[in-house]
Amino acid sequence: MSEITNFKLCDLVDKVKKKELSSKEITEAFINRSKKSTKLNSYISDNFDDAINRAKEFDSKPNLNKKIPGIPMAVKDLFCTKNLRTTAGSKILENFIPTYESTVTQNILEHGGIIIGKLNCDEFAMGSSNETSYYGNVQNPISENLVPGGSSGGSSSALAAKLTPATIGTDTGGSIRQPASFTGTVGLKPTYGSCSRYGIVAFASSLDQAGPMTHDVKDCALLLEVMSSYDVKDSTSVDFVRGNYLNDLSDNIKGKKIGIPKEYRVDGMPKEIEKLWENGIKIIKDNGGDVIDISLPNTNYALPAYYIVAPAEASSNLARYDGVKYGFRSKGENLIDMYEKTRSEGFGDEVKRRIMIGTYVLSSGYYDAYYLKAQKVRRLIKNDFDEAYKKVDAILTPSTPSSAFKIGEKLNDPVSMYLNDIFTVPINLAGLPAISLPAGHDKNGFPLGLQVIGKAFDEQTILNIAYSIEKNIGYKNNINDWWIK
């Protein structure tokens, strides 16, 4: 049975449709492997028993017209799931069981998916290594004691370790693409407004976007189709015609113009990443794409602007976790004392750090200098992309400035941790779609990713470019199941 977990999402869909595999067989296979993989700590909560029942239910009346018929999937624990504990990686929501379903997970259910569990993540998605989770570190299946990236670290770990055939994450500054890059998997952050934010525990509302994480580009196209929908329950959801991403997937990129931004050649970038990038450029050229040098002059200001806007929104978004209505509450002498104790004990250090930064930058007297200025920078960054897209169809960059690092290595150096997001953050600020795909290894054999950035709502183009690179690069993860005894 163990080979079932080696199949990718599209293969599994195919096998179910051809009745070669039942939902129960697939679901049990991933659950069994998950059970053997507790050392990775990818899960916060499991839904195994319920999932098997649902698989049986599916098999009793299989609807094979669904996009992901009877396919099991574990999801990031930032998505609220009805009757299934949702913690956002925080102690403050340790016992929170939603009575409602997020739109994205609802879409997965409606397309035939079965949720087998909730995956670990940085607390409130704040982190780049999954080390801020109240539920502990997550192991990268690539190598012991290696971080899986973050904040969707449980997702990348579970996916790379084949505990789930595909998964979903959220990306506020790189939280899908960086962990995908660290684990040799594919991760796509859609255009802001593509996937509904309804029912996703909010980190920074103007940046948060859910997206697919998969083994390859084909799976990614399919899962994006499942996830993306216009939703009246989210005022920032955009009503555009969503593509048939899988059906229209093509590796033909002849004549496509791909920009190479000079500002992404940062100082001290490892040689191997430069080589990776060059290799990507070569593949594009070999496949008939036009490579054009471009400039995104305000790139340098993206990270500082991000670390004002995101914490500002977070400081307000997290105010609702006050011990009054749900979640963790600590006893206090009075209301203020209860607030202070609840939030001091309920939130971890990184979350508190960002709440403090956010509160500071919104304070009267500092608002103009920080928040307002950061919003102006954000507009400039968006303008940079708008200018670039007059000349090119997409942009190619590395996903991260380094490969995965050791657990604990950057924990006490928040700035160096924040620098991880340097290539991903500008895309969130501009609200654009971007995909990270595995494109090589560093000297330790750790995965490295390339990022393809697209025009707003043009997910198809970046999927196609990524598909073309993927076909030519022949990347393969070397995972030896070290965590299974």
Partner 1 sequence: MSKNNKEYLIKRDNNEYEVVIGLEVHAQVLSESKLFSASPTKFGSEPNTQVSLVDAAFPGMLPVINEFCIKQAIKTGIGLNARINNRSIFDRKNYFYADLPQGYQISQYKNPIVGEGSITLDMPEGEKKIGIERLHLEQDAGKSIHDIDPKNTLVDLNRSGVALMEIVSKPDLRSLDEVNAFIKKLRSIMRYLGTCDGNMQEGSLRADVNVSVRKKGVLELGTRCEIKNVNSIKFMQMAIDYEANRQVDVLEEGGTVDQETRLFDTKKNETRSMRTKEDAHDYRYFPDPDLLPLELNDEFIEDIKKDIPELPDEKKKRFIEKFKLSPYEANILVSDIETSKYFEDVSIKSDIKLATNWITGELFALLNDKSIEITECPISSENLAKLINLIKDGTISGKIAKNVFEIMADGNKDPEKIVEEKGLKQQSDPKELEKIIDKVVLDNPKNVGAYKSGKDKLFGFFVGQVMKQSNGKANPQLVNEILKKKLS
Question: Which residue matches tokens 């999954």?
Answer: 130
- The runs of H, that is alpha helices, within 324-458 are 335-346, 349-362, 373-388, 414-418, 425-430
CB of 197: closest distance to partner 1 in angstroms? 6
Q: Which helix (H) or strand (E) holds 439?
A: strand 434-441
Query: Which positions are catalytic?
Result: 76, 151, 175
CB of 338: closest distance to partner 1 in angstroms? 9
Query: Is position 93 an interface residue for partner 1 (rule: CB under 8 A)?
Result: yes
Helix axes 459-473, 271-286, angle to 10 degrees: 100
Q: Looking at 339, 353, 382, 414, which residue binds partner 1 (CB under 8 A)?
A: 339
Judged by CB, which is closer to partner 1: 266, or 362? 362
Interface stretch with partner 1, choices 145-153, 196-204, 242-250, 423-431 (CB under 8 A): 196-204
Return the DSSP state at 67: S
CB of 363: closest distance to partner 1 in angstroms? 6
Do the Cβ atoms of 264 and 397 come closer than 8 Å? yes
Residue 444's identity, in one-letter code, is N
CB of 86: closest distance to partner 1 in angstroms? 7
How many Cβ atoms from other residues are within 10 Å of residue 445's Cβ?
Answer: 11
What distance in Å separates the CA atoms of residue 59 and residue 50, rounded to the nearest whole number? 14
Do the Cβ atoms of 271 and 302 come closer than 8 Å? no
HSE (CB half, 13 Å, CA atoms) of 93? 23
Judged by CB, which is closer to partner 1: 234, or 393? 234
Query: Is position 326 an interface residue for partner 1 (rule: CB under 8 A)?
Result: yes
Judged by CB, which is closer to partner 1: 204, or 432? 204
- Please report the beta strands in 82-203, taking only residues with DSSP state E, as ranges in sequence order: 114-119, 167-170, 186-189
Query: Is position 102 an interface residue for partner 1 (rule: CB under 8 A)?
Result: yes
What distance in Å separates the CA atoms of residue 124 and residue 112, rounded to the nearest whole number? 28
Judged by CB, which is closer to partner 1: 88, or 284? 88
Judged by CB, which is closer to partner 1: 36, or 82? 82
Residues 348-377 that bind partner 1 (CB under 8 A): 359, 362-364, 367, 371
What distance in Å separates the CA atoms of residue 459 and residue 245, rounded to the nearest whole number? 8
- The residues, ordered by sequence, that sit 6+ positions from 257 with a Cβ below 8 Å of its Cβ are 289, 290, 292, 391, 392, 393, 394
Which tokens is 271 given?
A: 């040689």
Interface stretch with partner 1, choices 19-27, 47-55, 198-206, 393-401 (CB under 8 A): 198-206
Q: Looking at 71, 74, 80, 223, which residue binds partner 1 (CB under 8 A)?
A: 80
DSSP-derived 3-state class of residue 253: coil
Query: Is position 234 an interface residue for partner 1 (rule: CB under 8 A)?
Result: yes
CA 220 to mean position of chain CA atoms: 12
Q: Looking at 88, 109, 146, 305, which residue binds partner 1 (CB under 8 A)?
A: 88
Residues 199-218 that bind partner 1 (CB under 8 A): 199-202, 204-206
Interface stretch with partner 1, choices 42-50, 92-100, 241-249, 266-274 (CB under 8 A): 92-100
- The runs of H, that is alpha helices, within 169-250 are 177-183, 217-227
Judged by CB, which is closer to partner 1: 369, or 484? 369
What distance in Å separates the CA atoms of residue 466 and residue 358, rounded to the nearest whole number? 36
Q: Looking at 232, 356, 369, 484, which residue binds partner 1 (CB under 8 A)?
A: 232
CB of 167: closest distance to partner 1 in angstroms? 18
What distance in Å separates the CA atoms of residue 482 and residue 372, rounded to the nearest whole number? 49
Query: Is position 330 an interface residue for partner 1 (rule: CB under 8 A)?
Result: no
Q: Looking at 36, 96, 330, 477, which residue binds partner 1 (CB under 8 A)?
A: 96
Q: Which helix (H) or strand (E) holds 418?
A: helix 414-418
Judged by CB, which is closer to partner 1: 100, or 482? 100
CB of 59: closest distance to partner 1 in angstroms? 31
What distance in Å separates the CA atoms of residue 329 and residue 346, rounded to the nearest whole number? 8
Judged by CB, which is closer to partner 1: 376, or 471? 376
Query: Is position 106 an interface residue for partner 1 (rule: CB under 8 A)?
Result: no
Sign of CA dihedral 182, 85, 132, 366: positive
How many residues lie near partner 1 (CB under 8 A)? Answer: 44
Query: Is position 99 an interface residue for partner 1 (rule: CB under 8 A)?
Result: yes
Residues at the interface with partner 1 (CB under 8 A): 79-80, 86, 88, 93, 96, 98-100, 102, 197-202, 204-206, 232-236, 312-313, 315-316, 318-320, 322, 324-326, 335-336, 339, 359, 362-364, 367, 371
